[in-house]
């Protein structure tokens, strides 16, 4: 009988320890202070030197140059001249040129009145042409949406394909107007991705880019979207 009691006590000991541990956790949580509210959290972040959420820029890795912000603001009000001057000045800095083209193309996809005025004033301006190509590609992807294919409608896919096909013609024109510029071909990577172009076509496009700028960051980023397994 004594042996049986010892065996039962040994078996019960882990359960007693577990019960005591859970009881301690419950009591600690019961009497611990409530977590800080949003205001207290924001104040703590501010004391650490962090910006509050409303002042954070989640679209850029660093603040855009002041001249870029001014040009985008001017374009929104219909004045294309500052943007045209910036692209002209950044012509040899291909990274800056591609990044600024993307910013302007995004804006034109939302409202392109200022770009239409630019194109009317300078019909053969390669800078206006590459912004137009970028804006069409951006508009195409906006039409498709970011959801998986099974959640995307037939109408979305049809509009997506039409816009990307139109963008190809605009890219070819931009490249013809400025043969040394890799930016039109960087934009075309997103067309290749959207239309499901073959690896042979992508290899040819990649050669056009790297022969002009072998270390172009934006090109490598876009190409990874094509080559990485999905």
Digitized pLDDT (tens) for each residue of the chain, 230 residues in all: 565 444 545 555 555 454 454 455 444 544 455 555 556 776 777 777 777 777 766 677 777 778 899 999 999 999 999 999 999 988 788 999 999 999 999 999 999 999 999 999 999 999 999 999 999 999 998 877 777 766 677 777 777 888 899 999 999 999 999 999 999 999 999 999 999 999 999 999 999 999 999 999 999 999 999 999 87
Query: Would the CA dihedral through 128, 129, 130, 135 be positive or negative?
Result: positive
Spatial separation of the C-alpha atoms in residues 189 and 222, rounded to whole Å: 6
168: exposed, middle or buried (C-beta count within 10 Å: 0-12, 13-18, 19+)?
middle
| CB half-sphere exposure, 53, CA atoms < 13 A | 4
SS3 of 208, please? helix
Spatial separation of the C-alpha atoms in residues 179 and 212, rounded to whole Å: 9
Spatial separation of the C-alpha atoms in residues 43 and 56, rounded to whole Å: 15
Neighbours of 56 (CB within 10 A): 9
What pLDDT score does 25 carry?
Answer: 43
Fold category of 78-227 in CATH: 1.25.40
What pLDDT score does 29 carry?
Answer: 46
Note whether 184 and 130 are within 8 A (CB).
yes
What pLDDT score does 8 carry?
Answer: 46
What pLDDT score does 2 carry?
Answer: 60
What pLDDT score does 26 carry?
Answer: 44
What pLDDT score does 74 carry?
Answer: 96
**pLDDT tens-digit readout, 130-147:** 999 999 999 998 877 777
> For the chain, first and last CA: distance in Å?
67
What pLDDT score does 66 carry?
Answer: 85
Whether the model clears a pTM of 0.85, i.e. scores above it, the answer is no
The alpha carbon torsion through 71, 74, 78, 82 (nearest 10 deg) reads -40
Give the ranges where the chain is alpha helix by DSSP (H). 2-31, 38-47, 66-76, 81-89, 94-110, 113-121, 126-144, 154-177, 183-195, 199-210, 217-227
């Amino acid at each position: 009988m004594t042996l049986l009691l010892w065996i039962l006590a040994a078996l019960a000991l882990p359960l007693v320890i577990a019960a005591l541990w859970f009881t301690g956790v419950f009591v600690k949580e019961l009497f611990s202070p409530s977590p800080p509210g949003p205001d207290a959290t924001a104040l703590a972040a501010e004391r650490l030197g962090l910006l509050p959420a409303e002042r954070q820029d989640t679209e850029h890795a660093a603040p855009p140059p002041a001249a870029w912000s001014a040009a985008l603001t001017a374009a929104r009000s219909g004045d294309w001249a500052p943007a045209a001057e910036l692209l002209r000045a950044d012509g040899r800095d291909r990274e800056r040129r591609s990044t600024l083209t993307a910013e302007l193309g995004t804006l034109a996809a939302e409202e392109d009145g200022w770009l239409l005025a630019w194109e009317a004033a300078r019909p053969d301006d390669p800078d206006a042409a590459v912004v137009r190509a970028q804006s069409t590609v951006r508009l195409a992807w906006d039409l498709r949406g970011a959801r998986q294919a099974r959640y995307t409608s037939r109408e979305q896919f049809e509009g997506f394909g039409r816009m990307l096909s139109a963008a190809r013609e605009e890219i070819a024109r931009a490249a013809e107007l400025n043969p040394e510029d890799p930016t039109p071909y960087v934009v075309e990577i997103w067309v290749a991705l959207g239309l499901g172009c073959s690896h042979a076509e992508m290899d040819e496009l990649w050669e056009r880019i790297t022969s002009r700028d072998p270390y172009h960051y934006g090109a490598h980023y876009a190409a990874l979207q094509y080559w990485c397994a999905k």
